[in-house]
Amino acid sequence: MKVAWKEIVKFKTRYLILGTIIFLISLLTMTISGLANGLSYDNASLIKDLPEGTFYMQEKSEDQYNLSHLDEKKMNKIREAAPEATFLSIQMGELENGNKNHSVVFVSTTNSSLFPKVEEGEVILNNSIMAEGVNQGDDLTNSLLDNKLTVEDFVDQQKFSHSSIAFINSTDFQKMYRTDTFQIAFVEGDDTPKFDGLTQYSNKDFLNTIPSYNAEQLSLNMIVIFLLVISGMLFGIFFYMINVQKLGTYGILKAVGMKTSALFKMMWIQMIIITFISLILSIGISQLLTLFMPEGMPFLLTIESASIMSLLFLGIGFIGATLSGFQISKVEPIQAINQGGV
């Protein structure tokens, strides 16, 4: 450890260059990962905040929640097998406040601890609507509904398909969309029952039924994967170049009896030190960046995702450095002795 650190200190410029490159790439990766997570949350926090469980939709709806209809008979069947089941409907729409229109996603549910309880004629809105001039107690209208909806309360970060959610009572929802059914059933837990004519979805599978969710996430995740691969290659190239310069030293150290594994260990320690410092800085700075990001830009970098990214960086750095280090095992002491040296 001491020898590895000594080398970094002695040749600080060369390791500073590698550290800076790794820091910049990891900062970019963390930032893009934060944006991907933020977008994902912005797209589907309604679903993402739910505990793990199973969603049910009508089989013939072909993965489109707005085409699914669970009639009373089906709902009773589900209730019999899973009394704690929650039924919900989701529909895009808009609310008017004076002359101003607000695009929202109406969500109506049966009584459940997972969603806020709303009385008929009331609406509970995602708090971002407050910035559009809507306040508690305001009366909002909708062209499909004769009665007004009074803003009862606001909730934090409840979005679906990048739109704010408006929780309304099922009676109001059924009046607006002329339906007497719910679209989706949700049962919490791992051991959930199966039903004929209904398709089951895990939380993750259900997210993919949201239009654009999959394409959006795939694009961003591909960028993250590319950046990880590039950082691995950078580690490989950098340590290859450093190892080429040090082949003479390695040869002499092997001649005097140093184990090849000790030389690899030295290289791995250097890789871990550089990656660790770069990651600490990039995580810290990516968090600081959120203070300067424009309001409304979705960014979410949790400790969990930052830790996973950091482990991936360390893993890829390890592979890159190890591949480049195969030269060490090939070094013949005799060649080093025959060359000049310090």
Q: Return the range that interacts with other proteins (CB under 8 A); candidates 76-84, 129-137, 148-156, 329-337.
A: 329-337
Tell me which residue of 324, 202, 195 sits closest to 270, measured CA to CA.
324
**Is 334 near other proteins (CB under 8 A)?**
yes
Q: 145 or 242, CB closer to other proteins?
A: 242
Token representation of residue 37:
């997570």
Q: Which of 229, 233, 308, 337 binds other proteins (CB under 8 A)?
A: 337
Q: Which of 83, 137, 257, 294 binds other proteins (CB under 8 A)?
A: 257
Q: Which of 249, 287, 290, 322 binds other proteins (CB under 8 A)?
A: 249
Reduce the DSSP state of residue 122 to 3 states and report it. Answer: strand
* Alpha helices by DSSP H, the chain: 2-10, 12-48, 72-81, 170-177, 203-207, 213-255, 260-292, 303-324, 326-330, 333-338
Min dist. Cβ of residue 328 to other proteins (A): 14
**Is 262 near other proteins (CB under 8 A)?**
yes
Q: Which of 116, 121, 193, 248 binds other proteins (CB under 8 A)?
A: 248
Contacts (Cβ under 8 Å, ≥6 apart) of 74? 58, 195, 197, 198
Binding mask 207-246 for other proteins (x = CB under 8 A): ----------------------------------------
The footprint of other proteins on residues 81-110 (CB under 8 A) is none
In the block, which residue shows the tokens 């960086």?
Answer: 313
Tell me which residue of 11, 28, 38, 12 sits closest to 297, measured CA to CA.
38
In the block, which residue shows the tokens 């963390």?
Answer: 30
Residues forming the site for other proteins (CB under 8 A): 2-3, 6-7, 9-11, 248-249, 252-259, 262, 333-334, 336-337, 340-342
